[in-house]
Amino acid sequence: MTTQTEIIPYTVETRPDTGLYNAKLGVWLFLASEVMLFGALFSTYILLRVSAVEWPHGSKILNVPIGTFNTMVLITSSVTMVLSWASLKMKNFAKYKLFMGLTILLALTFLVVKAFEYGAKFEHHYFPKTSTFFAIYFTLTGLHGLHVLGGIVVNSYFWGPGSKMWLTDPTRFTNRIEIAGLYWHFVDLVWIFLFPVIYLL
């Protein structure tokens, strides 16, 4: 593995004419495809809603205060994510550990709250098959939840065992946190669209 990183150029340093290192370009491309994925799902929502005979108001069925709370949680986690990357840039590893830990905790909070929300819906006998509204609600928030889970797994790795790289290759490790951050902000952004679309409108 070390031999491969030696022969492949621009894994750590940026290529002068493009101004990017490989992984940064890669993650932007990946996010572009994610935009298309969620774009298709949002289009589905629009099409089904426009053609529906009646559409329930999300705010009457769903719990808006809890949704608002979760929105704040995710936005805060984006802030701590940036702070953790900034700490690495300032060579402060202890602070990185703190902020990255906070990011993971906030993400877990989001998922736990979400789980209680799902539980409450099931208790009221609201299932994906109940109506198209709930089909959309469960599918979109569920898929978003999987993305959050993915983010938690990646971030936990960088918080725990992955952080050893800080000692051997600090620049590369900082880059890794940067691209993990890019992904995390995207997941956050999806929720910022999801919340008004499903809960409020």
Partner 1 sequence: MLMRWQLAYPGEPLPVIGKWFGETRMPEGVMLPEFYNQLGAMHGTIMVFLGIVPLVVGAFGNFVVPLQIGAPDMAFPKLNLASYWFYVAGGIVMLVSFFVPGGAASSGWTSYSPLANIATMGQTMWLFGMICLITSSLLGAVNFITTIIQMRAQGLTFMRLPFFVWAQLVTAFLLLLAFPPLEAAGVLQLMDRLAGTSFFLPSGLVVSGQVLKVSGEGSPLLWQHLFWFLAHPEVYVLILPAMGIIAEIIANNTRKPLWGYRSMVYSIIFLGFLSFIVWAHHMYLTGMGTAISAFFQATTMIISIPSVIILSALFISLWGASIRFSIPMLFALAFLPMFGIGGLTGLPLGLSQADIHLHDTYYVIGHFHYIVAPGTIFAIFAGVYHWFPKITGRKMNDILGHIHFWSSLICMNLIFTPMMIQGLAGVSRRLYDGGVGYAHAQGVLQWNVVMSMAAWTLALFQLPFIINIFWSLVKGAKANDNPWEATTLEWATPTPPPHGNFLTTPVVYRGPYEYSVPGNTKDFTPQNQAEVKYDNAD
Site string for partner 1, 44-83 (x = CB under 8 A): x--xx--xxx------------------------------
Q: Is 117 left (phi over 0), alpha (psi -120 to 50) or beta?
A: alpha
Tell me the C-alpha distance between 16 and 34, whole Å: 28
Nearer to partner 1, 69 or 193 (CB): 193
Residue 110 burial (10 A CB sphere; 0-12, 13-18, 19+): buried
Nearer to partner 1, 142 or 170 (CB): 142
Site string for partner 1, 6-45 (x = CB under 8 A): -xxxx----x--x-xxxx-xx--xx-xxx-xxxxxx--x-
CA distances from 85 to 158, 191, 201 (A): 11, 22, 35
Segment contacting partner 1 by CB under 8 A, of 98-106, 137-145, 179-187, 190-198: 137-145
Among 12, 66, 79, 135, binds partner 1 (CB under 8 A): 135
Cβ-Cβ contacts under 8 Å for 154 (sequence gap 6 or more): 180, 183
What's the closest the beta carbon of residue 64 comes to partner 1, in angstroms? 24
Among 105, 111, 113, 143, binds partner 1 (CB under 8 A): 143
Alpha-carbon torsion 77, 83, 85, 91, what sign?
negative
Asked whether position 125 contacts partner 1 by CB under 8 A, the answer is no
Residues present in the chain in total: 201
Asked whether position 131 contacts partner 1 by CB under 8 A, the answer is yes
Among 116, 127, 157, 193, binds partner 1 (CB under 8 A): 127
